Structure 1
């Protein structure tokens, strides 16, 4: 072995890496991203869950019990209602994760040793059920008694009951399978279109496309449409296997499931096209796709609870289309909600599609240079 020639090859590879900015970014960026995400953003100890409160007793004792629950830090009040039915409607729409109900006969139940409060939990997220169980440990006898109630010698021994809806068995498949639709569509759709324009350039087909009267917008949209059908086929396969193998329910409209999936497909395809206008090779396109996929799967709420992340990270996660899709698909499939009830996430996905597609069209030029 000639060490001089070997050293020449080593120097050549180092120089090539120095010119490849994408690879350099991955060498430094991947360890930094993973360290920050897992060390700072990922937190399985849920705090500040959005909660709604119904206090029909409105006594000193009931108010003290609510304050004790809030003092745990597990829940944060974002809405008040008059009836438990209103809380259930909020849970179905995804506005709150937990509902706290204190009945009108709170003091009587407290003195009789019966359940004095009921915690309504969105069981479509198993992590929320586990966090809500901490509220059962709030001591009832620490609540201030209602001075209007008659004195009694019965010892105070009330209880707090937790009721989980939509997934009372706490089966993880019920929560994971709907999310897998979004994860698989994100991984495949972004990758397919990220290499689309680059592949045309590498194979020499771009010269033929330049000679046609196609506009940039027509070329971009024409490349997207075939993959929409592919994405819907993938959605159908996951739904069929999920309901057959894991008995995952579809409580809402199947049409809403496909409409939400269609929005995510368009969002990912538009993002992939934008990546393809920046990448110089198919390998670079795949590298850039990885930078999109890693934050999406970690910050969207698929693997780790969204409510456990710091507020800054939650704001960043709102930019990811998968974050909004998970809320939509779980709301439709598991809680039976309609897309009209979750219009905020629908608008967010639609806006993402328009912005990404516009940027891709503006960046694309029918030139070989």
Structure 2
């Protein structure tokens, strides 16, 4: 072995790496990205869960009890309701995670030592459900003439997943994770593959426009994405008994929005990447934050505000709310309209950018 030749090869490799901006960004950016995500954005101790309160007693004691629960920091008032049924509607729409109902006979129940406050929780997220149980154990001030006492004056009612089965929470999210991983990757290498194989040189000599080329590449993969959705749903229902409480049409509509959003993002990556390897690297940069910030693995409400703002830019975040709302809470697309519109806007923006940045030439 000649050390001089070995040194020359090492210098050549380092110089080539310096010219490869994407790989250099992976080397420097990935440790920073993971450190920021796991150290700053990921938080398993849920605080400030969106909640609503219905106080039918309207006494000084009931108001004090509600204030005690709010002082715990676990919940935060985000919506208003006038009846327990409205709390259930807000839970179904995904606008709140916790609903607190104080009955009209609150004072009598409290004096008799019976359960006096009911906490309704969105059980489609097991972490939120565990936080609600923690809230139910929060001590409340009792009146001076209070004698009888139950173990806990607050009862927790879990909707949508009372058994707390993990597959019920995980399988709907897996639809989005699988579609994100495959759809972005498939189209991220689409244009680059055409260039490397020489097919792009043939395509640019045809009268096919940029828009026709881009949309023509998206639609076949959209059909593949719907097939993947069907496979995951069938296995989820058959093997894990995951319910589909909402309409099947709504499930496929939400999946179609995510598929098109991911394909549009993949096309945008494809117009910027110089090789298939670079395209896969750039895809990984999108995939990792999507998994960690979307609410699939870690609770969205536990993240700090800046991390939530970043998560709102990711299509998987909105799909998680859609698919869990439809499959587990029985909501429909109109109940979850903000997230549907967010995905539609993402599709339009990404596809427009991809078409504008793609040029029918080889240089």
TM-score, reference length from structure 1: 0.96
- Is the contact between residue 60 and residue 144 of structure 1 (CA under 8 Å) also seen in structure 2? no
State the match for 2:349 in structure 1. Answer: 355
Residues 171-216 of structure 1: per-residue CA shift (max 9 Å, x gap): 1110000000000000000000000000000000011101100110
State the match for 1:148 in structure 2. Answer: none
| Matches of 2:261 and 2:345, distance apart in 1 | 9
State the match for 1:197 in structure 2. Answer: 191
State the match for 1:236 in structure 2. Answer: 230
State the match for 1:303 in structure 2. Answer: 297
* Candidates 179, 184, 188, aligned match of 2:173: 179
- Is the contact between residue 264 and residue 321 of structure 1 (CA under 8 Å) also seen in structure 2? yes
- Is the contact between residue 62 and residue 143 of structure 1 (CA under 8 Å) also seen in structure 2? no
| Matches of 1:93 and 1:240, distance apart in 2 | 25
- Is the contact between residue 183 and residue 263 of structure 2 (CA under 8 Å) also seen in structure 1? yes
Secondary structure of the equivalent of 1:340? coil
| Matches of 2:319 and 2:139, distance apart in 1 | 39
* Candidates 343, 362, 366, aligned match of 2:337: 343
For the structure 1 residues 308 and 153, does the alpha-carbon distance in structure 2 shift closer, same or farther, using more than 3 Å as the test?
closer
| Matches of 1:185 and 1:55, distance apart in 2 | 43
Q: CA deviation at 1:156?
A: 5.7
1:64 is aligned to 2:58: no
- Is the contact between residue 119 and residue 161 of structure 1 (CA under 8 Å) also seen in structure 2? yes
| Matches of 1:299 and 1:10, distance apart in 2 | 38
Q: CA deviation at 1:144?
A: 5.8
State the match for 1:48 in structure 2. Answer: 48
| Matches of 1:263 and 1:195, distance apart in 2 | 21
Secondary structure of the equivalent of 1:339? coil
TM-score, reference length from structure 2: 0.98
| Matches of 1:253 and 1:358, distance apart in 2 | 31
State the match for 1:266 in structure 2. Answer: 260
| Matches of 1:283 and 1:259, distance apart in 2 | 32
Structure 1 residues not aligned, in runs of 5+ = 146-151
- Is the contact between residue 191 and residue 289 of structure 1 (CA under 8 Å) also seen in structure 2? yes
- Is the contact between residue 43 and residue 304 of structure 1 (CA under 8 Å) also seen in structure 2? yes
State the match for 2:136 in structure 1. Answer: 136
State the match for 1:19 in structure 2. Answer: 19
| Matches of 2:23 and 2:146, distance apart in 1 | 75
| Matches of 2:285 and 2:305, distance apart in 1 | 21
State the match for 2:76 in structure 1. Answer: 76
Secondary structure of the equivalent of 1:346? helix
Greater mean deviation of Cα atoms: 77-86 or 219-228:
77-86
| Matches of 2:138 and 2:218, distance apart in 1 | 54
Secondary structure of the equivalent of 1:335? coil
Calculate the aligned-residue CA RMSD, in Å.
Answer: 1.1
Q: CA deviation at 1:138?
A: 2.5
| Matches of 2:86 and 2:330, distance apart in 1 | 15
- Is the contact between residue 114 and residue 149 of structure 2 (CA under 8 Å) also seen in structure 1? no
Q: CA deviation at 1:139?
A: 2.4
Secondary structure of the equivalent of 2:79? strand
Q: CA deviation at 1:143?
A: 4.7
| Matches of 1:296 and 1:91, distance apart in 2 | 24
| Matches of 2:84 and 2:7, distance apart in 1 | 74
State the match for 1:257 in structure 2. Answer: 251
Q: CA deviation at 1:135?
A: 1.8
State the match for 1:275 in structure 2. Answer: 269
State the match for 2:33 in structure 1. Answer: 33
1:327 is aligned to 2:316: no
State the match for 1:290 in structure 2. Answer: 284
For the structure 1 residues 153 and 358, does the alpha-carbon distance in structure 2 shift closer, same or farther, using more than 3 Å as the test?
closer
Greater mean deviation of Cα atoms: 154-163 or 13-22:
154-163
1:222 is aligned to 2:216: yes
